[in-house]
Structure 1
Amino acid sequence: MAHGGYAVIDVETTGLWPGRHHRIIEIGIVHLDADGEVEATFETVVDPSRDLGPIHVHGLRSADVRGAPRFEHVVDDLCDRLRGRVVVAHNARFEAQFLAAEFERLGLESPLGPDGAGALCTMKLAPTYLPGAGRTLADCCAAIDVDLTDAHESLADATATARLLSAYLRMGDAQSSWWREWGRYAALQQWPTAETPRTPPHPRFAGGAGGADDGAHGPGRAAWRSRRRVARTPEFAPVPSAGAVLSASGAVPPAAPSAVPPAGPTGSAHLTGPVDLDLDRDVFGLTVEPAPAEPRFLERATELLPQLHLDRRQNQYAAMLDKALSDGYLSRDEADNLATLAVELDLDEPAREVLHDRYFASLVSTVWAHDVLSDDERRQVDAVAEMLGIAPHRRDAALVPSVLERAPRPADDDELDEFDVIEGLDESLGAVAETRAPTLARPDVGPLAPGARVALTGSLSQGRDVLVRSLERAGLVVWPAVTTETSLVVAADVACSSGKVRKALSYGVPVVDETQLPFVLARSRRSRTAA
């Protein structure tokens, strides 16, 4: 059975939980072939028949969805664009639960299931292919040198996820049978067709936030309509090939039973600040809660959160926390949603409190590693602590930069667990310490052992293919991503701020200029000869 390729999907929504009447307002899809090359892209805004929720996150206003199709108008084309393909998303549970809810309103059933079991999740695959990377799409993309521009636009996020998947495919060629198994599984999924019986939408959904007219759209197959934007989403560009050496040594080949989706390889608080409200009234009479107009501070922090070595259930909960906090605001609705998710994931209250503590400690560590906090940002961190129920004495300690600076280092200089840092330093309050800038590696790095992974970044003057051949002749493996297993990053400019360079600095991986590479290779050869 031929592999039908991939359909990478991302949706923007009016909120985080479909069970509370939140709806899809934008859909973006990127089609990739079985090798990860782009075939087509699709996007549309969707009239949700309600207010648009956090417009400061997704950037859509009433004028953008006025006259746009509603979900029942595009559902048949949507199914056609997913049918026969492996559906892929970053944090697939989120996309899947909204698709399941939209299908259910029409009396249809989504083959992905409400928990996303029928979709491939690039977030879940990150520990296998990007060890050390965090959960978020932005953090994973940084490891492959993809800047996530226009985040929270569906096509932009789907495009970034597609590039991430393409990198996984290149790194995972040793698991080719597992990827083929996903193709066979996708071919068996039963997506509704135009002939599938359905129920008409509830009258409350007739005439949405944009005042769409049923007569202007054919049932199930209305024309898709892009959001209005000044600068279009950049065209998809595949991750540069690193040659035939891209095997997934070290990755655990997954089991792939054919009858089920293949198993994976191995009270509210408000933040202060200006308020930006959508002028539409909620058709359900629900209160539209204000949120900060400039949420970039916490969004940056949540994008950079490291792995916490959580199990599957904890990771799903933490991913929802990422989304809830990325706009710097946690509403009563979102707090209730998190409690509901905890029940679904069988996380009891003590387990949830421990997870909140670990999450907050990680957030604090990330904040102090990348920012000098303003008074407003300190208030935001304090508000997050209150939202998560963090003990007051731990909350106070987190707001003092000297806490992390004074942290005792273990003898082997391994990185401390962020939770241990906060837990053990409740009394370490003092003067603000001077911030430390990361330093690049010395040019005399080396030697490199045979099979060591080397990543390339930037517009290399010698040409990427030339450097790849040199590294291969030296017995090294050119790897498309920077992970904790990377031994060296070769940059066109060591002072650049590319995602790979930032990742290398955070992991302690040496970074050298391309002109220094011959010296590193010579040192490696001499070391092997001497041995």
Structure 2
Amino acid sequence: MSNTNFAIIDLETTGLSIQRHHRIIEIGVVIANSKGEIIQEWETLINPERELDGSEIHGLTNADLFNAPTFKMIAGELKELLAGNILVAHNLSFDATFLANEFDRINYQTPIGPMTGLCTMKLAPQFFKNSSRSLAACCENIKYQIGNAHAALDDAKAAASLLKHYLHSSPDLLDDWSELVNDFKKFQWKELDKLPHQLVTRSTKREHQSGHFLQRLAIRAPRTNLYPEANSYLEVLDRALIDQNLSFHETEELIEVANSIGFSREEAHLLHQDYLRGLVKIALEDGVISADERMHLAGVAKCLNISQAEYDAALLQDAHQDSVQIQSFKLSVGDTVVFTGEDEEFDRDSLTYQGKSLGLKITGSVSKKTTLVVAEDPDSLSGKARKARELSIPIVDYKTYFELLNRLN
């Protein structure tokens, strides 16, 4: 089997069970030759189109996955990496089950299954005496240091190093698996269209998210009059800053709107100052800016990259000075609220009862009549959150929701 190549894979997922509709969020693939030498590496994050769990394990957030391709988008490229190669994974039954399920979801047949490949974890007792078969423990036996544990490509490279050790230690290893190898290599993979997409990795995502979002706008001298085009930008800004925080999807929307109307970095910054002055004017309606209002204004200024000097100047403005008109968001009796995702601190039935007792309408689906969507993470990838963004409905976390309840009209 000197012409045999291996596709060593590792996955990160939203959870442990496809029965609970958990999905893949990261794929790492290493192609190795018959000697176990790496000849190609490939990786991408995946948008699972559902709530994300397990961040404490894999270290990924909803923001990391927000602009990542879906599995359907990368399936054609992935298929070419796998076709004709022997599938390998550390805990193959887990990875293969998830991978097969993703292909099944797009109605594409593969030979992938929990027993159709080599499992470096199950093979470990043949080569190592220690009882633990974890990837880290096995790699310690061969003095291999995993770069970033629970990052798919790094774990796939670690499994590849184990496979290389096995092949060198037992040159006849594949003879026991000849039938499986031959069946996998003979499978006729059907054509699968390559859809337009851009691979997103942990490193490229971190670079994309670094710095304030204004840095991603063009530099150009501001125009003498920014209105009325500015109103559409300010409308998004007003909706996004209900919680004095800009989530990733909100910054992406602001950049999209700014680019669509040709706003430069300088023009957007001027609008941010106008917006802050508008908030100050609202706060001054009763003649004084309270401590809570100051905290709110300071939070907004930080989000908008407004300097201390600009912030101080806004606070000193005349209450009658012209400023941008802002419709401060408030919840009112009769408004419709939708909850999405689970939160360990809050019971959904209790939240529903509380909301209804205060006069809100609590529904299970998002529509044009929805006033607010509440999520554990405003960057939620759930279907309800996606629908809310399509309809320009605000999404806030539970802390902000309770603050809005305290000011319910």
TM-score, normalization by structure 1: 0.38
More helix by share: 2
Structure having the higher Rg:
2
